[in-house]
Amino acid sequence: MPTNTHILLSVLYISIFFNSLKALSSEPNTLALSCGNKDGGTDDDSRKWESDSKYLVSSDKSVEVVAQTQDPSLTSSIPYMNARIFTSETTYKFTVNESSRYFLRLHFYPSSYPNFNTTNSYFSVVADKVTLLNNFSASIAAQALTQAYIMKEFSLAPLNTDSLSVRFKPSDKYNGTFAFVNGIELIPSPNLFDSASMVGFDDQPLDVTSANVQTMWRLNVGGQYIPSTNDSSGLARSWYDDSPYIFGAASGVTSEAANNVTIQYRNFSASIAPVDVYRTSRQMGLDGNVTRNFNLTWIFQVDANFTYLVRLHFCEYELNKINERVFDIFINNQTAMKNADVIAWSSKKDVPFYKDYAIYVPDGPGDEMLWLALWPDNSMRPHYLDAILNGLEIFKLSDANSNLAGPNPTISDMMQKQLVENTNKTFSTDEAKKIYTTALIGGAAGGAVAFAFVAAMFIGYKRKQMLSGGDTHTSSWLPIYSSSQASVSKSTISGKSPGSTHISSDAASNCRFFSLAEIKQATKNFDESYVIGVGGFGKVYKGVIDGNTKVAIKRSNPSSEQGVNEFETEIEMLSKLRHRHLVSLIGFCEENNEMVLVYDYMGHGTLREHLYKNNKITLSWKQRLEICIGAARGLHYLHTGAKYTIIHRDVKTTNILLDESWVAKVSDFGLSKTGPNMNQGHVSTVVKGSFGYLDPEYFRRQQLTEKSDVYSFGVVLFEVVCARPALNPSLPKEQVSLADWALRCQRKGTLEDLIDPHLKGKINPECLKKFAECAEKCLADHGTDRPSMGDVLWNLESALQLEENPDGSAKPTSSGSGSVDYDQPREIDQKNILAMHRNTLSLGSEHDIKDLDDETDDIFSQIVNPKGR
């Protein structure tokens, strides 16, 4: 039954794609040759294959044959059923564009042909000067992969000549051996390679522009098989499911972009990978207590003595801010990247990005494996402890002798045993799965023993690394604006210290250095009509940089002596802090006595102006709650998230800004202090801050703790619900200070009278009660009696829940069509996750099985017994 459905589906499938296929075959210069087939033909995907004979330099040393049996798993009889057999060395010649890269695909069907038994076939293939295969046995490779046919894909660098020769040569180590091939594809491709960073050599770039490579794996991570007909730019690549390569039981969760998400290529063209790759991803899961305890790991069996290019494809289609999902990337247990943040790279939601890493795999005892692991990095206190990957490609780079060939795969004992048993009884599905998995992991079938020695290039990097010495372990901060692949122009990125300032090189390297000319251009020479605010520090202008990025530009008042310190404090602080609820500093300019800070543009301005200033749109109660929660998150991060506790010292409604989507961001760190040490508990300092928000205890004792921020935030909470300024001198004396007046009303139970008329009757009483109690506690006289910012956050979140679900029944949030709603409390269905993990349980190799079971149980027990929530 299932088989019938399959066939039906395939037929449907094929007819659906008929059109795109036609487009494919009409690509100029694209060659598809059905070898040993005089007439050529059309395959089941409607792709045209022509005869190979006119490309042969001499055809007298080859024989055209037809296979005696067609394996049921063959997708199409073209090009597999016909073969050209070479009994001695024979060459194909193709006319090519001398400056274009080419995909060369070789198809082999190691069946039996009249008078030729392919188990006896060992041969080499050389393209121009590059050895692609050596002592290659298609028969052994197919057996190891449990596949009927083998396809090998290579990407050849531009040749600088207009003719490409591909030479087939039977091995001279065996008697009566021969070479054969069933299909050849030659497809011009854009230049897909640029440079990769060498893992373990701190960002030493390896130039791969002119590398000849073999594709080892191409996976649509977290998604399904993408047939060659659905690839982008007519490159006819197939993308496979990644689940067989996942190590252990911890396979995370898969996710798919919502239907209304449009993937936008900005950093490169769609030829890198089709949209379907970026629309699906694998992530670690929802529970931080589980995700932090395992690595999401893929393993691949590779040939030793080669450098591999590991290309990771990313696209963040759920989150849109930096520092929400931050993770480390390990390759072969070495750190390839710390604090990877997809949004920071791509600069935008729905925009694909890829990263290339190169790693050399030396020879060692046993099979060589390539491990890729992702692990959530908590050092930046990201919003979620999670990681994401959308696609993965692994390429083998040719070595110093222009060789790409590796040894034939060995068929493991376990597999041999299973294969023998197979001849006697049918597989149980479990066994089949084991074999399938082992075969896939060992998928690097190919050529002969490589005699090549360690690539000279690799030693070169080692030496370079030693010479550069020193600062290799400086903190690797979020590479937002220093990433060489960010979309900003390279020339303006500051790696150097900008001269006269006292800004640490660390801070300077984390943000961008603008020239005064750039700033003037962005603000039309500080045009007054661009002013969006004026503060003690100076004026704030709106501006546009890099063509269309809106920014806020804060220009210091040159006469203010105070300005210099605050300017520097702000750069030092903000350059180290990245959080969804903190305003991001993009960069700064210090030139000709001008001190200018450049920030993210906050489309909706300050919180204050939406409460009572002007007559702007009135915020709903829920919006106000959400804004308070956001601001509380930002402050909580300042207090606990960074290396040191940071006290803001000037929390007020004009320092809480709102972006285009009404996300609250805490701003203005000019007065911030890094404080208190464990033993001291407070920072002695000159009293600063804004009246109306000032912590009385701080005022009395001149000692600053993070509870001073909590006090100010309490004032903000009352301001939000009452919609009146913290200080209003025009009111009767007892009402001038909002903090005093609101506290008095709250204690008398008359707060109702104070609340914003726009909100009257629109707040759930339970929610208001919770909210007011929280604000009241923040205003406690003694800091020690005030809640921590974390408690405030918790209380506000429960207030929001009371508003949303008045009856107290927290409804589980459904994750819809696979996309996770991150702004709701995450509910997980333990049973489902468990089932999912068991389902995709895959095995590495025979001796991994035991260890794996232990690890599996560990992870399961964490999932089953998460310690509270």
Ligand X SMILES: *[C@@H]1O[C@H](CO)[C@@H](O)[C@H](O)[C@H]1NC(C)=O
SS3 for 313? strand
The reply to whether 640 sits near ligand X by the rule CB under 6 A is no
Q: Is the dihedral of CA 523, 529, 535, 539 positive or negative?
A: positive
Of 283, 332, 703, 815, which one interacts with ligand X (CB under 6 A)?
332
Contact 604, 610 (CB under 8 A): yes
Q: Is the dihedral of CA 701, 703, 705, 711 positive or negative?
A: positive
Of 10, 15, 88, 117, which one interacts with ligand X (CB under 6 A)?
117
- Write out the H or E segment, with its range, that includes residue 674: strand 673-675
Least CB distance from residue 410 to ligand X, whole Å?
A: 7
Counting Cα atoms < 13 Å in the Cβ hemisphere of 105 gives 22
The reply to whether 330 sits near ligand X by the rule CB under 6 A is yes
For 247-308, give the DSSP string.
-BS---EEEE--TT------SS-TTSS-HHHHTEEEE--S-HHHHTT--EEEEEEE-SSEEE
Our CB check for ligand X shows the closer of 375 and 711 to be 375
Q: Which stretch binds ligand X (CB under 6 A): 119-127, 233-241, 538-546, 694-702?
A: 119-127
Contact 97, 160 (CB under 8 A): no
As given in the structure block, the two tokens for residue 56 are 């042969």
Nearest alpha-carbon partner for 494 in 592, 557, 571: 571
DSSP 603: T
The reply to whether 83 sits near ligand X by the rule CB under 6 A is no
Report how many residues bind ligand X under the rule CB under 6 A. 49
The reply to whether 148 sits near ligand X by the rule CB under 6 A is no
Binding mask 573-592 for ligand X (x = CB under 6 A): --------------------
Q: Is 43 a catalytic residue?
A: no
Of 278, 294, 345, 384, which one interacts with ligand X (CB under 6 A)?
294
Least CB distance from residue 101 to ligand X, whole Å?
A: 8
The reply to whether 19 sits near ligand X by the rule CB under 6 A is no
Q: How far lies 636's CA from each of 639, 668, 802, in Å? A: 5, 16, 22
For 233-245, give the DSSP string.
GG----BEESGGG
Burial of 478 (0-12, 13-18, 19+ CB in 10 A): buried
The reply to whether 408 sits near ligand X by the rule CB under 6 A is yes
Nearest alpha-carbon partner for 720 in 609, 580, 583, 605: 609
Contact 228, 44 (CB under 8 A): no
Distance CA 693, CA 756 (A): 19
Cis upstream peptide for 79 (omega within 30°): yes
Q: Which stretch binds ligand X (CB under 6 A): 367-375, 623-631, 670-678, 787-795?
A: 367-375
Distance CA 101, CA 212 (A): 9
The reply to whether 360 sits near ligand X by the rule CB under 6 A is no
Distance CA 637, CA 671 (A): 17
Our CB check for ligand X shows the closer of 86 and 375 to be 375
Our CB check for ligand X shows the closer of 15 and 97 to be 97
The reply to whether 10 sits near ligand X by the rule CB under 6 A is no
Answer yes or no: is 554 a known binding residue: yes
The reply to whether 5 sits near ligand X by the rule CB under 6 A is no
Contact 834, 249 (CB under 8 A): no
Site for ligand X in 296-325 (CB under 6 A): 304-305
Least CB distance from residue 695 to ligand X, whole Å?
A: 29
Q: Which stretch binds ligand X (CB under 6 A): 328-336, 567-575, 718-726, 741-749?
A: 328-336
The reply to whether 813 sits near ligand X by the rule CB under 6 A is no
Our CB check for ligand X shows the closer of 276 and 709 to be 276
The reply to whether 378 sits near ligand X by the rule CB under 6 A is no
As given in the structure block, the two tokens for residue 618 are 């009135």
Of 162, 194, 363, 829, which one interacts with ligand X (CB under 6 A)?
363
Our CB check for ligand X shows the closer of 446 and 714 to be 446
The reply to whether 503 sits near ligand X by the rule CB under 6 A is no
* Residue 137 CA, distance from chain mean position: 38
Which spans in 669-824 are helix H? Answer: 696-701, 706-722, 738-748, 765-778, 789-804
Least CB distance from residue 548 to ligand X, whole Å?
A: 19
The reply to whether 173 sits near ligand X by the rule CB under 6 A is yes
Distance CA 90, CA 126 (A): 11
Least CB distance from residue 290 to ligand X, whole Å?
A: 8
Site for ligand X in 419-448 (CB under 6 A): 420-421, 424, 448
- According to DSSP, the residues that pair with 371 across neighbouring strands are 299
Site for ligand X in 214-253 (CB under 6 A): 226-227, 230
Distance CA 308, CA 463 (A): 20
Of 8, 9, 12, 258, which one interacts with ligand X (CB under 6 A)?
258
Of 276, 318, 399, 590, which one interacts with ligand X (CB under 6 A)?
276
Enumerate residues 6+ apart whose C-beta is below 8 A from 481: 488, 493, 510, 511, 512, 586, 587
Our CB check for ligand X shows the closer of 292 and 550 to be 292
Of 353, 357, 375, 718, which one interacts with ligand X (CB under 6 A)?
375
Of 87, 100, 165, 521, which one interacts with ligand X (CB under 6 A)?
100
Choice among 356, 650, 659, 709 that is catalytic: 650
Contacts with ligand X, residue ranges (CB under 6 A): 97, 99-100, 112, 117, 119-120, 122, 135, 137, 140, 173-175, 226-227, 230, 258, 260, 276, 287-289, 293-295, 304-305, 330, 332-333, 363, 369, 371, 373, 375, 407-408, 420-421, 424, 448-450, 453, 866-869
Residues designated as active site: 650
Question: Can you say which residues are annotated as belonging to the binding site?
Answer: 554
Query: Which residues fall in the annotated binding site for ATP?
Result: 554
